[in-house]
Amino acid sequence: MTEPVAHSAISEYRFMVENHLKIIYPELDHAAFAQDLIDIMCPDGQCQTPETHQNHWDQRNVVMITYGDSLLAENETPLQTLLHFSEKYLSNTINGIHILPFFPYSSDDGFSVIDYYQVNPTLGDWEDINAIAEKFQLMSDLVINHCSSQSEWFQQFKRGEFPGRDFFFCASPDDDLADVVRPRTNELLQRIDTPEGPRYVWCTFSHDQIDLNFAEPLLLKEVVKIVKLYLDHGVQIFRLDAIAFIWKVAGTTCLSLPETHEIVRLLRTLIQFVSPKALILTETNIPNRENLAYFGNSNEAHAIYNFSLPPLLVNAMLCGSCQHLKTWMMSMPPALHGTTYLNFIASHDGIGLRPAEGLMDDEEINQMVTMMEQFGGRISMRSLPGGGMRPYEINISLFDAMKGTIDGEDEWQIPRFLCAHAIMIALEGIPALYIHSFLGTHNDQEGVECTGHNRSINRHRWDYEQLQAVLADENFSHAHVFQGLCHLLQVRRRQPAFHPNATQFTLHLGDAVFAFWRQSMDRQQSIFALNNVSNTEQILPLSEINLIGTDSWIDLISGEIYSDLRAELVLKPYQVVWLTNMFERE
């Protein structure tokens, strides 16, 4: 139960909110509007003082990404099935669940929201959401760059009615839009006839997803009401979807503008005084340097996606070389206390290629694209400023992306797939695994044919009874993948050296072995993560790893003990070894 906040804390809360508003809306009555927002977030006049630079996570944090209807069973809602599966199979493996948009929608599998205040009845209801939030740390999408053309707000816009008439961003075809950066190929502006005449609404993603107008303060107030609703239903992590696009100014890229960053800071301030352990995660699928900017001065996102990891890791597995992966990791700044990375290599979307720009050259990206097409993948394109198109993302099941190397398919698919995940699981940050990675799901080509959308290839819906059967049968790859990933995660969760903010250093053991050292924050545990990313055996002298001679060393994965530090370590193709000087502890 929250304690009444001291007058000084309320004053600090109001002062911070006003300062954010002064930057976003210079002409506004900041004091009055700040009080309106605080009244929405704290209707009872009570809140808590947040602690700064606190890590509200540790090595036990693991997130599963899933749609609300990835699992289907008779006589229960999909959200109930999701909870039953998670409790039965993953209670000792994950502690967080990211349920992708679970609201009524009109397209894009949930990301074109019709009603932010309701749960999609085909998935369940708020009671189902509450039940999941009681058992797991719940992550929800805050889809506020755009909403559905079928939403009541947009219907009001078309009728010229308040408040929706001012909630959508409009531009003119004559505006200077040459530099606008966006991830799609459809026309940016869509003509809509209104009582005031034709208006041209902005559509970053599709003509069913109309961009919202954050230059209108009343829209911000509505968004804050939505945030409070989600908090009341147990949401602890807010994933700010497509947040980089929310502020537009003609003549610019309309990407990650200063007002965008200030809105993220404002949302963090509003949330943290009500729920100090709630987290903000920014979804910014953009080049690495721009992505890192969303940490701000440790006052913006608590966590950002490591978007460069998926394409670089897939490339390493294809080529049998970790050269680019090492170069990237050495350039990444350690996250300051109170911030962390969210590591993933598969999601509901695809393998984004923009985050590889500047890290891989065009020839290497094109080679990866070609191989993924050979493994059954599809390629989504984006328009370039000034005309032309280039690959934006690879749409493929990650399990099928690991079918082979640049030389073609081979017999190492499962070891390669597990090796890729072992790297992601051991890196600095919080690991997030897509449900279809847990299940080793193949490309859903039938889904693509049914929907006409490339991303459907990795959005399969499992019959829950059938799934349970294949997970119990060692003859299926699904069982081997699931058991292997759960073992890795259960090992990870007991190691203080795998704390998301524990020390990390890159090791140089050749291009075929991606290796790094993690050390717990109390310096008692070291883990040397050694990963053979090639399909050939690699031999490493233990003397090259700088193991402390006075300690005993054990591989956390296999249990093998290494007592002779002058010996050689033989890594089979795609084998992973986690060498530690401290045995697992509860």
C-alpha to C-alpha distance for 267 and 479, rounded to whole angstroms = 42
Look up tokens 């721009």; give the residue: 290
Give the span between the Cα atoms of 301 and 242, in whole angstroms: 14
- How far does CA 228 lie from the centroid of its chain? 22
Q: Which H, E and C letters describe 337-375, residue by residue?
A: CCCEEEECCCCCCCEECHHHECCECHHHHHHHHHHHHHC
Secondary structure string (H, E, C) spanning 215-259: CCHHHHHHHHHHHHHHHHCCEEEEEECCHHHCCCCCCCCCCCCHH
Q: How far apart are CA 90 and CA 69, in angstroms?
A: 17
Catalytic residue (one of 128, 211, 241, 400): 241
Chain centroid to Cα 483, Å, comes to 23
Buried b (16+ CB within 10 A) or exposed e, 77-112: bbbbbbbebbeebbeebbbbbbbbbbbbbebbbbbb
Q: SS3 for 109? A: helix
Residue 206: exposure state from Cβ atoms within 10 A (0-12, 13-18, ≥19): middle
- Cα dihedral value 320, 326, 332, 335, nearest 10: 80
Residues 571/529, Cβ–Cβ less than 8 Å = no
**Alpha carbon distance 96, 132 (integer Å):** 10
Q: What is the SS3 assignment for 6? A: coil
Instruction: Note if 241 is an active site residue.
Output: yes
Name residue 405's beta-bridge partners. Answer: 408
Active site residues: 241
